[in-house]
């Protein structure tokens, strides 16, 4: 237990209530041994977030904005009322393991001087997110990234500089940029640097704050001893033209602010051209995908394995039956126990179970399994298997198979928050 420590967890919500619910359930468990608070700023969501949360999570401070003030301004709004010695800026589409906060705070305290901390992240399919560790977007670094050279040479110290592809993802080490999805900063550092620059409406504000932390003489660390899920597609729709425009605007602000002595006009030229081409390519690929998906709409029901206790299996099976999902439940995996009804295999044989059952999807049940165990198991799942999570105190199943697209939420049809058709 960490005595007499205060952690303020700040989350900005915008139209992702089911993912936020899962996030809050995980955060509350991670705060079990820490004196902390949770502040949620809702940026005028139109998905019924207010009614959904008004009688839930009594320990959480909710602030309901009348307009969408943007990510940076909403975080600063919460920062003004935060009381913690440590501030964690956390995205709503994340899941943290139970021991995450303790590990992170103890690591910061182990250093002789104050540091800020980012963390190892995986997406909803269990794949490592390269933006967990990044460098500053210098003209050359940005060109290599946006031109596609970083993807062609993912391990290159030069071409993959933006995502620091040459650095081991399993090694804790100093980096330039902390991802805004999980940004843990001692309050005393923020008192010096200030919060997010509100000129950034969305995207780029984490790079800017990381730059100011470094400029103030502090070190940013990538922490690999704990892993979180960042579904990502919920808070960032990378394939959209709107994303392309906002990302370009954010990078332009960053260049004008920090590269005054450098050829910013040249940087902006390459940035504008590269992002325009990237946006056109993304739009084209989305059109192809939509046409492909239309042709596949009459596909057979997908086979699902449920990982959890017998009671959880029954709950999830009933929820699936009462939803509009076309799924067939193939069986149950009870981690570490292999003698009860409906069980296909234990944890060591999880991949084999998915193979022999021809399952296309697995639903992990939090309760019998901890969030930490679920995150560990996700790394074992083949990419062609969709992953979803059902939390113990939730009434929905959520997942996101593609980090660049909107995730999937499964609800009972009778649920008052079931989306209108």
Question: Residue 20 sits in a domain of what CATH number?
Answer: 3.90.550.10
The 8 Å CB, 24+ separation contacts for 161-169 are 161/135, 162/134, 162/135, 162/137, 163/130, 163/131, 163/133, 163/134, 163/135, 164/133, 164/134, 164/135, 165/130, 167/133, 167/222, 168/224, 169/120, 169/128, 169/132, 169/133, 169/224
pTM of the predicted model as reported, rounded to 2 decimal places: 0.84
Could you tell me if 189 and 85 lie in one domain? Answer: yes
In this structure, what DSSP letter does residue 128 have?
A: B
Q: How many domains does the chain have?
A: 2
What gap in Å lies between CA 167 and CA 157, rounded to an integer?
A: 8
Could you tell me if 316 and 230 lie in one domain? Answer: no
Q: Which two tokens stand for residue 285?
A: 């690929």
Report the candidate in 24, 50, 126, 104 with the shortest Cα–Cα distance to residue 374.
126
Could you tell me if 73 and 217 lie in one domain? Answer: yes
> Which among 193, 225, 241 is the end of a domain?
241
The answer to whether residue 351 is domain-embedded is yes
Could you tell me if 321 and 188 lie in one domain? Answer: no
The answer to whether residue 270 is domain-embedded is no
> Which among 196, 212, 241 is the end of a domain?
241
Q: What pLDDT does 57 receive?
A: 97
Using 50, 70 and 90 to split pLDDT, how confident is the model at 297?
very low
Q: What pLDDT does 420 receive?
A: 47
Residues 331-357 pLDDT 10s: 888 775 544 555 554 556 577 777 777
* Domain residue limits at 348: 302-419
The answer to whether residue 263 is domain-embedded is no
The answer to whether residue 316 is domain-embedded is yes
108 or 241, which is more confident? 108
List the strands of the sheet with 327-333, edge to edge.
343-345, 327-333, 302-307, 361-365, 386-390, 397-399, 408-410
The answer to whether residue 274 is domain-embedded is no
Could you tell me if 145 and 30 lie in one domain? Answer: yes
In this structure, what DSSP letter does residue 131 have?
A: G
């Amino acid at each position: 237990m960490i005595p007499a420590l205060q952690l303020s967890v700040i989350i900005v919500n915008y139209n992702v209530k089911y993912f936020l619910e899962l996030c809050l359930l995980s955060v509350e468990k991670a705060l079990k041994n820490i004196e902390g608070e949770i502040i949620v700023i809702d940026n005028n969501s139109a998905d019924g977030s207010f009614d959904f949360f008004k009688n839930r999570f009594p320990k959480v401070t909710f602030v309901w904005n009348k307009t969408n003030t943007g990510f940076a301004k909403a975080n600063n709004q919460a920062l003004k009322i935060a009381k913690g010695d440590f501030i964690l800026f956390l995205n709503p589409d994340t899941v943290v393991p139970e021991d995450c906060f303790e590990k992170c705070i103890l690591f910061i305290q182990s250093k002789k001087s104050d540091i800020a901390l980012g963390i190892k992240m995986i997406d909803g399919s269990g794949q490592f997110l390269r933006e967990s560790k990044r460098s500053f977007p210098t003209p050359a670094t940005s060109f290599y990234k946006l031109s596609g050279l970083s993807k062609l040479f993912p391990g290159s110290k030069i071409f993959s500089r933006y995502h620091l592809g040459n650095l081991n993802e399993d090694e804790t080490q100093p980096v330039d940029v902390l991802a805004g999805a999980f940004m843990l900063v001692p309050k005393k550092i923020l008192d010096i640097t200030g919060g997010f620059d509100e000129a950034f409406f969305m995207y780029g504000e984490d790079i800017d704050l990381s730059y100011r932390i470094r400029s103030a003489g502090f070190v940013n660390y990538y922490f690999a001893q704990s892993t979180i899920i960042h579904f990502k597609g919920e808070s960032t729709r990378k394939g959209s033209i709107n994303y392309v425009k906002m990302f370009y605007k954010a990078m332009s602000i960053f260049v004008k602010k920090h590269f005054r002595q450098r050829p910013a006009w040249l940087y902006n030229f390459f940035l504008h051209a590269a992002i325009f081409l990237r946006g056109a390519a993304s739009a084209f690929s989305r059109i192809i995908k939509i046409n492909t998906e239309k042709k596949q709409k009459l596909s057979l029901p997908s086979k699902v394995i449920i990982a959890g206790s017998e009671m959880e299996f029954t709950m999830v099976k009933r929820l699936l039956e009462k939803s509009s999902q076309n799924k067939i439940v193939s069986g149950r995996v009870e981690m570490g126990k292999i003698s009860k009804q409906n069980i296909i295999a234990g944890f060591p044989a999880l991949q084999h179970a998915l193979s022999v059952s021809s399952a296309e999807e697995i639903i992990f049940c939090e309760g019998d399994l901890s969030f930490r165990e679920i995150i560990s198991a996700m790394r074992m799942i083949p990419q062609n298997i969709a992953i979803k999570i059902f939390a113990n105190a939730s009434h929905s199943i959520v997942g996101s198979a593609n980090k660049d697209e909107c995730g999937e939420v499964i609800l009972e049809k009778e649920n008052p928050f079931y989306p209108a058709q």
